[in-house]
Chain A
């Protein structure tokens, strides 16, 4: 499952693995059978759903392995760009509602593809993200704040160089109020804590820069130390056949 491949590689990076036991070629080849005609990605090679989540996974995998030969990046960019909604946010695919999760996936994927300038309505996108701030951040208009969007939306704004337009103090207040007295973060104050909101809530706090937390790489969603750990650095090219923009 493409999301499991992405997560597995991320974990390996975080723990400082040297990637020597990976069958890199088969991972990249698998991506070929996962890309759809319209540029989107399925998670598994049998008939399945396809959407922005898996586009991001494909891009993150390719970047971590420094091998972009597994899919057609132009089609992927086209799919992403077409998924921007009338109000500036990105949906899971064309015609769907803009949502914090899919917006993050879209912008992070475009960053990895070196194609963030392809966004048709950048000001609309920034405006949409900024409008998500209430006490914390919500995932869509007219929805309540949820601690995980401090990452999804926060990271998106970081990638767009517009994070300074937010109000981090208020955001921090909200996230902290989601902290359970038993440990961990829930989605809203007094909610049962769970791993997802603990992870995203902490990442969100790190982005705010107001607490003594390790810096997070907004594109990957884990620490900069881990993001910098690159056992395949010798494969990295800025130009050439292995990079997405060629």
Chain B
């Protein structure tokens, strides 16, 4: 949440100013002390305490995190039996500090560093991710951290796929969940199994855009599925410079399947268009699929031209911010 400036920030009482000056003086004393300790290569409990106090006031002072790690490394060496409990208290410290700035690069990175030293409780980390994502489903630091933990724990990626399904079903506009799904799909499935999976993905995404046709997340995922399922047809439409339209490596059955998919999706969108004639995303996708239908000889150039003209005129009206972009088409 951003700070709301309800009054002139420079109109502050003398008492408040005095209090601020006191806090600033204290902070300066502490940071000076910490930097002196570091310069003298002091890696003691006291040094860690000073470091902690500075970071509690200002978790964005990256040098303090670097110093903290130096102290910890020396503790790991001198007190190897304490390593696990030290790491656990570090995780506690970060967890206490995170609410100050849940999007702090420094704090999330420090957690990564700790986990690289001690992977004994990865379930705790996954639990933290779930809690943080419940607070902010789009916190990409948390999503990236989750991916890091998953890799460390060799958790099943199929389970992760299910996690994205759960998140999407909770909220169809969880763009970050759709994104994660897009990166899992090609890792988990390829070749024939991918083609089979695509059919169920199209089903899944259709539920999303039928429920919330004005939300872009499902539509962008849908566009990506189309490109995966029929790139030799879709790509030249979207990017005329990329004349990668030679389906040379494509088998006859794959080519047939791609055409079937495109025509099926065109029919799905055309049906939705009747219910939602003023939804930009339905029109845009229908325009793309109509062009694809022309590419595969399903509709004539004349019909294509007529339909596209109507679609883009409508798009310019519905989405005037991108009027120049639609003109470009």
Contacts and interface: CB of A to CB of B under 8 A. Distances in A.
Interface of A: 1, 44, 46-49, 85-87, 92, 95-99, 121-124, 127, 130-131, 133-134, 140-143, 164-167, 170, 180-182, 186-188, 190-193
Nearest to B2: A191
B189 interface: no
B12 interface: no
Q: Is the interface of B mostly helix, strand, loop or mixed?
A: helix
A111 to B, nearest CB: 19
Contacts of B138: 140, 142-143
Q: Is the interface of A mostly helix, strand, loop or mixed?
A: loop
Interface stretch (B192-200, B212-220, B246-254, B264-272): B212-220
A48 B140 CA distance: 18
B49 to A, nearest CB: 22
B5 A142 contact: no
Given A49-B105, A97-B179, A142-B138, A192 B324 contact: no
A122 B217 contact: no
A46 B66 CA distance: 8
A184 to B, nearest CB: 9
Contact of B2 (A134, A142, A188): A188
10 contacts: A47-B113, A97-B140, A124-B239, A127-B325, A130-B322, A131-B216, A142-B173, A142-B216, A143-B138, A182-B10
Given A44-B66, A141-B220, A182-B10, 7 more contacts: A49-B112, A85-B179, A123-B239, A141-B175, A181-B8, A182-B9, A191-B5
A141 B216 CA distance: 8
Given A123-B239, A142-B173, A192-B5, A165 B328 contact: yes
Chain B interface size band reads 35 or more
B38 interface: no
B175 A166 contact: no
B179 A182 contact: no
B217 A49 contact: no
B321 interface: yes
Contacts of A47: 69, 113
Query: Which of A49, A134, A141, A182 has most chain B Cβ within 10 Å?
Result: A141
Contact of A170 (B4, B217, B241, B321): B321
4 closest A-B pairs (Cβ-Cβ)?
A: A192-B3, A191-B2, A192-B5, A86-B182
A95 B147 contact: yes
A51 to B, nearest CB: 9
Nearest to B228: A86
B183 interface: yes
B2 A167 contact: no
Contact of B9 (A48, A86, A192): A192
Contact of B5 (A49, A121, A122, A193): A193
A193 B321 CA distance: 27
Contacts of A182: 5, 8-10
Interface in B7-55: 8-10
B35 to A, nearest CB: 15
